[in-house]
Each structure stands twice: as C-alpha cells, then as structure tokens.
Amino acid sequence: DPKIIQKPKYLVAVTGSEKILICEQYLGHNAMYWYRQSAKKPLEFMFSYSYQKLMDNQTASSRFQPQSSKKNHLDLQITALKPDDSATYFCASSQESWGAVYAEQFFGPGTRLTVL
Amino acid sequence: GMPVEQNPPALSLYEGADSGLRCNFSTTMKSVQWFQQNHRGRLITLFYLAQGTKENGRLKSTFNSKERYSTLHIKDAQLEDSGTYFCAAEDNYAQGLTFGLGTRVSVFP
C-alpha cells in the first residue's frame, strides 16, 4: 500500500489557470514538505510544515500556497499558472521530534504538471 | 559555489564493475540521503545517514559531516542500477533537503 499518495499523477493546465496538487501521508508523520523538479533546475525544496504550521518557505512566488486541512494532508495550490511552472512536484514527510536532530524524509511518487 | 556538489555528472559502467559517486558540501550538514530516480521518475531512498557508513547489498554509503562529504559505492553493477542518483543533505538551519545535480548512471551488458 502506498504510504504517501499524490494526486493526480499527471496534470495538464492552461496558462493563467489554478490547480491544486493533493498529498496525503499515512506514515503518521508530523512534518510534510513540497519539492519541485523541473527540466531547468535541480530538485529544489519549496515548503516545510510541522504540525500543520508553516516552518520554512523557500518559494519566492506567492502563487504557490500550501494548504493543510488535516495533520496528514499538505496540498499545494498554484494560481496564475505559467509554462515555467511545468515540473514534477514531490511531496515528502518525516517524523520530527523535539530534541531530535535527524529525521529521514520519505517521498511520494510525484505529480507531473504541464502548463500549456 | 553550490551547497551540494555532486560528481561525476554521468557514469557509464559495464555489468560487474565497481564505481563510486561523491557529494561535497560547502557547509556542515547534519544528515544526508541518497536516492535513485528510476525511469518513471520515482525517488527511491537508498540510504539515510547522520554519520558513518551503511551497507545494503551491493551499495555502500559513507557520510563524514566534519570533512563535508558523502560517498555512494556501487559494487558489481547490474543493469537495474541504471538511473539517476541524487544525494540530498540537510543543514542545521533549514528543514528542507538540498539536492545535488545528480549522477546519471548507465550500466551496459
């Protein structure tokens, strides 16, 4: 059974539209992340959430907004889509413990977004 | 320079050969993960290290935080080892992983 579900697997959108990428994890983790992999850039960290609160935001554009409705959900809303947003978006999760320094991150299968 | 420098960018191996990949870090990292990305784009975790060395079958990885590097060694390469390998490290300030640019490994019969 997949432990981290990302939906949809593939997504095609038109420039200027808005899409939501879904991520659910069933590992019981308290921290979740979004990463992006495009043809032009290496895998890059976007956001991290811990206990449903934003911890780190490395995305310059406000068009990208994470949404956490439940502890094991972290969706990514992207507005005013541009062709440069075309990429595979990976969700990840980890178990962060107070006082613990290290935590392995587990990655979902990704959503491949193409903006025309 | 890049926070995570990964070498080589590409590696061609014959079946049965041994080889290694290396990541150098510009700053002290607290942990490193190695991934294989398959032809479907899926990221498969190979190792997670906070220090020292781990082995799993024909793969072995070492992380030296003080010396700022990590290595991945492939022994007796098989066709299924083909793919792109990434190291990714976590520093002391951010929760997100910083990835290297990857090493494209091709194994030939």
- Residue A78 CB coordination number (10 Å): 21
Q: Say if B23 is an interface residue toward chain A (CB within 8 Å).
A: no
pLDDT digits (tens, 9 = 90+) for A57-82: 888 799 999 999 898 999 999 999 99
Name residues 40-99 of chain B within 8 A of A (Cβ): 41-43, 45, 48, 50, 86, 88, 90, 94-99
* Cβ separation B86–A105 shorter than 8 A: no
The residue written with tokens 């070492």 in the block is: B62
In single-letter form, the type of residue at position A111 comes to: T
B5 forms bridges with which residues in the sheet? B24
B26: distance to nearest CA of chain A, Å?
A: 17
Instruction: Report the distance separating Cα B56 and Cα B46, nearest Å.
Output: 8
Per-residue pLDDT of chain B (109 residues; tens, 9 = 90+): 678 999 999 999 999 999 999 999 999 999 999 999 988 899 999 999 999 999 999 999 999 999 999 999 999 999 999 999 999 999 877 778 999 999 999 999 9
- Strands of A1-116, DSSP E: 4-7, 10-13, 19-25, 31-37, 44-50, 53-57, 64-67, 75-78, 87-94, 106-107, 111-115
Task: Say if A99 is an interface residue toward chain B (CB within 8 Å).
Answer: no
Contacts of A88 in chain B (CB under 8 A): 41
Show Cβ contacts of residue B52 under 8 Å, excluding neighbours closer than 6 positions: B62, B63
